[in-house]
Amino acid sequence: MSRMDRYKDKHKEMEKATEKKGFSPRKQRPQERFDAHDEFDEFNEYDEQPEELRNDYQSSQRYQQQQTYQTHQQDRQQQRYQTNKTTNNNHSGFGSQKKGKQPKIKKPRKKRRGLKLLGSLLLLLILYCGGMFAYGKYSAEHDTSLPKEELETFNGVTGADKANNILLIGSDSRGEETGRADTIMVIQLDGAAKKPKMISFMRDTFVTIPGVGENKINAAYAFGGADLVRQTLAENFGIDCKYYVKVDFQSFEKVIDSLFPNGVQIDAEKDMSSHLEVPIKKGPQKMDGLTLLQYARFRMDEEGDFGRVRRQQQTMSAIFSQMKNPLTLINLPLAAGKAIGYTSTNIPTSFLLKNTFSVAKGAGGVDSLSVPIKDSWSYGNSDYAGSVLVIDKEQNKQAIQAFFAN
């Protein structure tokens, strides 16, 4: 018997054996792609098939495709499980959402109402401040009881330290030295310290006035106005000023009364009465605009101009310190408008708003310096200027630079 005949006989025996068991495997479909939806019921009784048939089926292409599909399905399930687990951790229960889409979380209504209310209050505050400032400025500019202050030419310069210093000049047309500056100060708001710093110059300080020559520093205003005072400070002390404020003392009274209706709290150093419109008693008290002005200008004692400069600095510190009072803050827009309207100044409103925080820090105290500094001057006399203070300019210049730097 040939090999072919033996194979045919063996094949017939296998068919008969499978028919007895009631199982007839499908014929293979060569090179046919395995479909995930094929039924596998025919393999449920796989273990009951004859061993020879099982071995033949396991070697078939269909069986290999089935095993590959099952392995692929297990891999996909494992990958899907890992993806859902990661998404759940990242989105707190929103893992079923598509990748890249964030869940929309609605803001609580109470929070939205609070933000809306805050915005409305802020808008009302801005409108109030703007309206009161405009009203104060208008009323001051149309006050016929005082002469109108004209804007001066002032070629301001920003300092080397990027600070926009303010030159403050106080004068009194009713005074004995008409045309001269009774008070000369430099105020710094936007320096490195970010808090108010103030330098006072004694009016008898003997300096070089550009284009004029040697004279008292307060004479610079009489010769060339605020801009010549600026040039004098730059040449003798190395101080550059960007802005200026020229205040008439009558205007000072009205601004103080607007800002502090109940007066300024201050501790008077001594009893004062000589050459004053209002007598002052020693001790803590509240002063209105007129009384405060008299206190700051008094110099009829043994200290002369030294005592007056100290009291002027005390007055400025008291004004800054009372800015923290809520009632003062309410009146601040109106008083600021009147201050701008009553004075001659080139300070823009934007500069004041930008440095509001610095002004508020002044409530804790203002750093101050008097020029000439201690042990840097001596008394002298001039044929045309009278009694003067002869100073060491270099020593004072270094002291000023150190004062602004710290």
Beta strand spans in 249-294 (E): 264-268, 283-287
377: number of CA atoms within 13 Å, CB side? 22
Task: Place 105 in a pLDDT band, splitting at 50, 70 and 90.
Answer: low
* Mean pLDDT, rounded, for 57-75: 66
pLDDT at 39: 45
Strand partners, 170: 183, 247
pLDDT band at 103 (very low <50, low <70, confident <90, very high): low
- Say what the pLDDT of residue 54 is: 53
Write the DSSP symbol of residue 165: -
pLDDT at 173: 58
Predicted confidence band at 236 (pLDDT cuts at 50, 70, 90)?
Answer: very high
**Which pLDDT belongs to residue 27?**
47
| Per-position DSSP letters for 372-393, written without gaps between them | SPTTSEEEEEETTTEEEEEE-H
The answer to which of 49-53, 69-73, 82-86, 268-272 has the lowest mean pLDDT is 49-53
352's tokens: 């004041």
Share of the chain above pLDDT 90, in %: 37
Q: What is the mean pLDDT of residues 77-84?
A: 72
Coil vs helix vs strand at 284: strand
The pLDDT assigned to 42 comes to 45
Percent of the chain topping pLDDT 70: 74
Measuring CA to CA, how many Å separate 79 from each of 39, 67, 69, 75, 83?
25, 19, 15, 6, 6
| Secondary element (H or E) of residue 20 | helix 3-21
One-letter amino acid at 362 equals G
Question: Does the pLDDT of residue 86 top 80, yes or no?
Answer: no
| Number of neighbouring beta carbons within 10 Å of residue 271 | 11
The verdict on domain 140-405 having CATH code 3.40.50.10420 is no
Q: Which pLDDT tens digit goes with each residue over 138-184? A: 888 888 887 777 889 999 999 988 999 999 999 865 544 447 788 99
Across residues 228-232, what is the average pLDDT? 97
Cis preceding linkage at 372, omega within 30: yes
Give the pLDDT confidence score for residue 100 in this predicted structure: 53
Alpha helices in 24-60 (DSSP H): 51-58
> Read out DSSP for 252-302?
HHHHHHHH-TT-EEEEE-S-B-TT-SS-B-SEEEEE-HHHHHHHHH---ST
Name the residue among 237, 137, 254 with its Cα closest to residue 185. 237
Q: Is the pLDDT confidence value at 97 over 60?
A: no
Stronger pLDDT, 215 or 114, i.e. the higher one: 215
Question: b/e map of 212-238 (b: 16 or more CB within 10 Å)?
Answer: eeebbbbbbbbbbbbbbbbbbbeebbb
Average pLDDT value over all residues in the chain: 80
Residues of the chain with CATH 3.40.630.190: 140-405
Q: What is the pLDDT of residue 130?
A: 86
Check pLDDT > 70 for residue 250: yes
Phi-psi region of 360 (alpha: psi -120 to 50; beta: other; left: phi over 0): alpha
Query: Identity (one letter) of the amino acid at 7?
Result: Y
Residue 66 pLDDT level (bands cut at 50, 70, 90): low
Whether 359 contacts 196, CB under 8 Å = yes
- Checking if the pLDDT of 40 tops 90, the result is no
Q: Is the distance from CB of 289 to CB of 257 less than 8 angstroms?
A: yes
pLDDT of residue 325: 75
CA–CA gap between residue 361 and residue 381 (Å, rounded): 42
d(CA 285, CA 293) in angstroms, rounded, equals 14
What is the number of other CB atoms lying within 10 angstroms of the CB of residue 187? 19
For residue range 174-206, list pLDDT tens digits in order.
544 447 788 999 999 888 877 889 999 999 999
pLDDT digits (tens, 9 = 90+) for 324-371: 777 777 887 888 888 888 888 999 888 887 887 777 666 667 899 999
Return the pLDDT at 282. Answer: 95
- Which helix (H) or strand (E) segment holds residue 216: the answer is strand 213-216
DSSP labels, 188-203: ESSSTT-S-EEEEE-T
CA–centroid distance for 56 within its chain: 84
Give the strand pairing for 243-248 and 166-171.
parallel
Residue 305 has pLDDT above 70, yes or no: yes
Indicate the pLDDT class of residue 401, thresholds 50, 70 and 90. Answer: very high
Give the Cα separation of 380 and 390 in Å (integer). 6
Check residue 362 and give its pLDDT: 67
